[in-house]
Amino acid sequence: MNLMVKQIQLIERMDQLIRMQATGSPEELISKLGISKTKLYRMINTMKTLNAPIEYDITLQSFVYAEPVGFTFGFYTKGQKMKILNGYGG
Protein backbone atom coordinates (compact mmCIF):
# COMPACT_ATOMS: atom_id res chain seq x y z
CA MET A 1 0.00 0.00 0.00
CA ASN A 2 1.14 3.52 -0.73
CA LEU A 3 3.13 5.16 2.11
CA MET A 4 1.01 8.31 1.99
CA VAL A 5 -2.21 6.29 2.30
CA LYS A 6 -0.79 4.40 5.29
CA GLN A 7 0.12 7.67 7.00
CA ILE A 8 -3.35 9.11 6.38
CA GLN A 9 -4.92 5.94 7.80
CA LEU A 10 -2.67 6.23 10.85
CA ILE A 11 -3.72 9.86 11.37
CA GLU A 12 -7.38 8.82 11.04
CA ARG A 13 -6.90 6.09 13.67
CA MET A 14 -5.07 8.46 16.00
CA ASP A 15 -7.81 11.06 15.51
CA GLN A 16 -10.44 8.47 16.44
CA LEU A 17 -8.62 7.46 19.64
CA ILE A 18 -7.97 11.09 20.59
CA ARG A 19 -11.66 11.98 20.12
CA MET A 20 -12.67 9.06 22.35
CA GLN A 21 -9.99 10.12 24.86
CA ALA A 22 -8.85 6.52 24.66
CA THR A 23 -5.20 6.78 23.65
CA GLY A 24 -3.85 5.83 27.06
CA SER A 25 -0.25 6.69 27.84
CA PRO A 26 2.21 7.17 24.97
CA GLU A 27 3.46 3.62 25.61
CA GLU A 28 -0.10 2.25 25.42
CA LEU A 29 -0.77 4.20 22.24
CA ILE A 30 2.32 2.91 20.46
CA SER A 31 1.21 -0.60 21.41
CA LYS A 32 -2.32 0.01 20.06
CA LEU A 33 -0.97 1.45 16.81
CA GLY A 34 1.97 -0.91 16.37
CA ILE A 35 4.46 1.91 15.81
CA SER A 36 7.62 3.16 17.50
CA LYS A 37 7.68 5.99 20.03
CA THR A 38 9.66 8.09 17.55
CA LYS A 39 7.01 7.56 14.84
CA LEU A 40 4.24 8.42 17.33
CA TYR A 41 5.77 11.80 18.10
CA ARG A 42 6.51 12.45 14.42
CA MET A 43 2.84 11.81 13.62
CA ILE A 44 1.69 14.04 16.50
CA ASN A 45 3.97 16.80 15.19
CA THR A 46 2.55 16.28 11.69
CA MET A 47 -0.98 16.58 13.06
CA LYS A 48 0.01 19.74 14.97
CA THR A 49 1.46 21.16 11.73
CA LEU A 50 -2.01 20.58 10.25
CA ASN A 51 -3.44 22.64 13.17
CA ALA A 52 -4.57 19.80 15.42
CA PRO A 53 -4.63 21.21 18.99
CA ILE A 54 -3.29 18.02 20.59
CA GLU A 55 -2.40 17.97 24.27
CA TYR A 56 -1.72 15.22 26.78
CA ASP A 57 -4.14 15.20 29.72
CA ILE A 58 -2.39 13.71 32.75
CA THR A 59 -5.67 13.23 34.62
CA LEU A 60 -7.29 11.29 31.77
CA GLN A 61 -4.03 9.58 30.81
CA SER A 62 -4.85 10.31 27.17
CA PHE A 63 -4.01 12.64 24.34
CA VAL A 64 -6.93 15.03 23.81
CA TYR A 65 -7.89 17.93 21.58
CA ALA A 66 -7.74 21.27 23.42
CA GLU A 67 -10.75 22.41 21.38
CA PRO A 68 -13.27 20.74 19.07
CA VAL A 69 -11.84 20.03 15.61
CA GLY A 70 -12.65 17.88 12.62
CA PHE A 71 -10.38 15.87 10.33
CA THR A 72 -11.40 14.78 6.84
CA PHE A 73 -9.23 13.56 4.02
CA GLY A 74 -10.47 12.21 0.74
CA PHE A 75 -12.77 12.97 -2.13
CA TYR A 76 -16.49 13.52 -1.73
CA THR A 77 -19.45 14.82 -3.72
CA LYS A 78 -20.70 18.36 -3.30
CA GLY A 79 -23.69 17.10 -1.28
CA GLN A 80 -21.39 15.22 1.07
CA LYS A 81 -19.29 18.36 1.51
CA MET A 82 -22.16 20.21 3.17
CA LYS A 83 -22.80 17.25 5.51
CA ILE A 84 -19.12 17.17 6.46
CA LEU A 85 -18.98 20.93 7.02
CA ASN A 86 -22.11 20.73 9.16
CA GLY A 87 -20.64 17.90 11.26
CA TYR A 88 -22.59 14.98 9.88
CA GLY A 89 -19.64 13.22 8.15
CA GLY A 90 -20.10 11.10 5.08
pLDDT for residue 90: 43
CB burial string 8-27: b at 16+ within 10 A, e below:
eebbeebbebbeeeebbeee
Q: Where do runs of H (alpha helix) occur along the chain?
A: 3-19, 26-33, 37-49, 78-85
- The predicted pLDDT at position 70 comes to 86
One digit per residue, the tens of pLDDT, for the chain of length 90 reads 699 899 999 999 999 999 999 999 999 999 999 999 999 999 999 999 999 999 999 999 999 999 999 888 877 777 665 555 555 544
Distance from C-alpha of 15 to C-alpha of 10, rounded to nearest angstrom: 8
Cα distance between residue 67 and residue 27, in whole Å: 24
pTM: predicted TM-score of the whole model, two decimal places: 0.81
